[in-house]
């Protein structure tokens, strides 16, 4: 019944591909190529038939789910609730806040037809949902009793990208969450902006083991329509920064055009104060670059969908049942201890092949168990990050595995923090700033007068922009702007960025 086709050529392709399971370049020598190979070969994502769009494959999706569960349960505890809003936004709604519209319109995908009919009004495929959510809020909010309104949406947004696609870091569509809140006072809204920024920092640092700096964006770099934008910035091994998330204070910039008013306890009508904030799957891209090595991905244990993989070592068919039973028992014990475990019992791959595959896929801890281990009532624990092996008694294995995973998490955190420290330099000299950006990259802290002319000059001449204005660091007394030599208002972090 099946159509059969000569399979010779196909066989050749297959074996070439199997040879190429590993990563063929060193991370330190060619980060972009290394990154692409890791993403594709560990099956996190793939390119698609739609140019600029990627697929999130199950291995990648499971990581996103971990992040989602962690953050979602965190914000639910503070009263935020999830909802779903339409993918298409009428042009008239998108236009209602004019700066916002102008900022987004160059990258909007426009729907003009349904079936064969031209629409009377164009729809934007959502680039972000402020406008359509605020339109709903204007109907839902009536009195102070309806506030604060704390909404969150897990969805995807689309922005036409002219630059080339880099999975997770830059693509025409990405998964993210967008939070949208309305408050009775400006103080409350500003507190929300900061609370969420700190929740985000906990996702980056606590879950993904990526150290970040936090601060405000400059006026030029803020979200279009916001009063101000706060940001989290990480540094990649190649010296380029990644913006990990943003939390915006919208003030009343949207509530006025969208007429979102509430009857206060004072029996007067007031416009609400608003925030919006988002993190996307881009942070998966940053985690890959931050922690991976020449063998492939290294996932921080807290975010790893599979924390421990068990590999049965089977030499003879005679012993296979015994080994597999022991592995199943072990799987139960570890799951029971709250660990995310996978028993790789496939019989069509060798243990060595499996080691390579799970190393490529970044599983933090491997347990090898064969007849000799069983005889000794022990198993071998192998750390993904250091390769270190240790024989552990089966009776101690749950606590040993937990300890190892904690060690791995802090070890990844420590290396990343150490690297960030090294990649953060400070200077008062523009020449030195240029030299650092050109040769080493990384963050360069420097005093700045606050003018957009100086900001643009640095951007044009070095490719670096102001990644953030820290909350708690100020320029020294009498310190001068690194560009124009006028008095410095801020100490800012310059870097080239993804």
Between β-strands 45-47 and 54-56, what pairing exists: parallel, antiparallel or unpaired? antiparallel
Q: Which range in 143-151, 373-381, 428-436, 472-480 contacts a copy of itself by CB under 8 A?
A: 143-151
Of 77-85, 231-239, 242-250, 441-449, the segment contacting a copy of itself by CB under 8 A is 77-85
Q: Which stretch binds a copy of itself (CB under 8 A): 259-267, 397-405, 412-420, 449-457?
A: 259-267
CA 388 to chain centre: 28
Say how far apart CA 276 and CA 254 lie, in whole Å: 11
Q: Least CB distance from residue 307 to a copy of itself, whole Å?
A: 17
Closer CB to a copy of itself, residue 175 or residue 369?
A: 175
Q: Which of 39, 54, 308, 367 binds a copy of itself (CB under 8 A)?
A: 54
Between 6 and 439, name the residue whose CB sits nearer to a copy of itself: 6
Q: Tell me whether strands 308-312 and 341-343 are parallel, antiparallel or unpaired.
A: parallel
Beta partners for 392? 379
| Residue list 319-358, contact with a copy of itself (CB under 8 A) | 348
Tell me the β-bridge partners of 365. 308, 383
Answer yes or no whether residue 75 interacts with a copy of itself by CB under 8 A.
Answer: no
Out of 12, 46, 329, 390, the residue judged to bind a copy of itself by CB under 8 A: 46
Instruction: Give SS3 for 153.
Output: strand
Q: Does residue 85 belong to the site contacting a copy of itself (CB under 8 A)?
A: yes
Residue 53 sits in the site that holds a copy of itself (CB under 8 A): yes
Does 156 sit near a copy of itself (CB under 8 A)?
yes
List CB contacts of 378: < 8 A, sequence separation 6 or more. Answer: 391, 392, 393, 394
Place of tokens 């990844």: 412
In whole angstroms, how close is the CB of 142 to a copy of itself at the nearest point? 6
**Least gap, CB of 122 to a copy of itself (angstroms):** 8
Among 142, 332, 376, 377, binds a copy of itself (CB under 8 A): 142
Q: Does 190 bind a copy of itself (CB under 8 A)?
A: no
Residues 97-116 that bind a copy of itself (CB under 8 A): 105-116
Q: What distances in angstroms separate CA 136 from CA 78, 187, 263, 269, one per listed residue?
A: 22, 23, 17, 18
Least separation, in Å, of the C-beta of 331 and a copy of itself? 15
Whole-number Å distance between alpha carbons of 210 and 13: 38
Residues 265-284 that bind a copy of itself (CB under 8 A): 267-271
Give the Cα separation of 477 and 239 in Å (integer).
Answer: 29
Q: How far apart are the first and last CA of the chain?
A: 51
CB 134, min distance to a copy of itself, A: 10
**Phi and psi at residue 308, to the nearest 5°:** -135, 130
């Amino acid at each position: 019944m099946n159509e059969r086709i000569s399979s010779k050529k196909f066989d050749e392709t297959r074996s070439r591909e199997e040879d190429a399971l590993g990563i063929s370049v060193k991370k330190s020598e060619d980060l972009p190529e290394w990154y692409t190979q890791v993403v594709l070969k560990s099956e996190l994502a793939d390119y698609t038939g739609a140019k600029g769009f990627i697929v999130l494959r199950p291995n990648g999706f499971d990581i996103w789910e971990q992040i989602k569960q962690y953050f979602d349960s965190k914000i639910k505890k503070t009263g935020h609730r999830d909802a779903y809003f339409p993918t298409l936004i009428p042009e008239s709604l998108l236009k209602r806040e004019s700066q916002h519209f102008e900022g987004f319109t160059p990258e909007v995908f426009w729907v003009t037809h349904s079936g064969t009919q031209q629409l009377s009004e164009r729809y934007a495929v959502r680039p972000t949902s402020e406008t359509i959510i605020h339109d709903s809020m204007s109907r839902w909010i009536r009195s102070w009793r309806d506030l604060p309104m704390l909404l969150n949406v897990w969805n995807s947004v689309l922005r036409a990208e002219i630059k080339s696609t880099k999975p997770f870091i830059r693509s025409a569509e990405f998964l993210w969450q967008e939070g949208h809140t309305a408050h009775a006072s400006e103080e409350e809204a500003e507190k929300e902006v900061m609370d969420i920024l700190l929740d985000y920092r906990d996702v980056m640092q606590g879950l993904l083991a990526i150290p970040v700096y936090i601060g405000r964006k400059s006026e030029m770099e803020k979200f279009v329509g916001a009063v101000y934008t706060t940001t989290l910035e990480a540094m990649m091994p190649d010296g380029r920064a990644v913006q990990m998330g943003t939390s915006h204070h919208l003030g009343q910039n949207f509530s006025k055009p969208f007429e979102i008013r509430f009857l206060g306890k004072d029996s007067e009508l007031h416009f609400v104060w608003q925030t919006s904030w988002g993190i996307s799957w881009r942070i998966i891209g940053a985690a890959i670059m931050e922690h991976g090595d020449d063998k492939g991905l290294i996932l921080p244990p807290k975010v790893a969908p599979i924390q421990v993989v068990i590999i049965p070592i089977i030499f003879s068919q005679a012993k296979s049942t015994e080994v597999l039973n022991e592995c199943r028992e072990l799987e139960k014990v570890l799951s029971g201890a709250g660990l995310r475990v996978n028993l790789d019992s496939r019989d069509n791959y060798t243990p060595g092949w499996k080691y390579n595959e799970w190393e490529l896929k970044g599983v933090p801890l491997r347990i090898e168990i064969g007849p000799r281990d069983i005889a000794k009532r022990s198993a071998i624990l192998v750390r993904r990050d250091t390769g270190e092996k240790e024989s552990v008694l089966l009776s101690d294995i749950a606590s040993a595995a937990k300890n190892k995973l904690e060690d791995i998490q802090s070890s990844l955190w420590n290396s990343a923090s150490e690297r960030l420290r090294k990649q953060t330099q400070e200077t008062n000299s523009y020449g030195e700033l240029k030299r650092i950006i050109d040769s080493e990259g990384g963050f360069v802290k420097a005093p700045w007068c606050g003018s957009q002319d100086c900001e643009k000059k640095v951007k044009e001449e070095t490719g670096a922009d102001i990644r953030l204005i820290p909350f708690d660091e100020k320029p020294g007394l009498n310190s001068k702007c690194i560009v124009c030599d006028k008095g410095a208002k801020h100490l800012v972090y310059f870097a080239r960025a993804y």
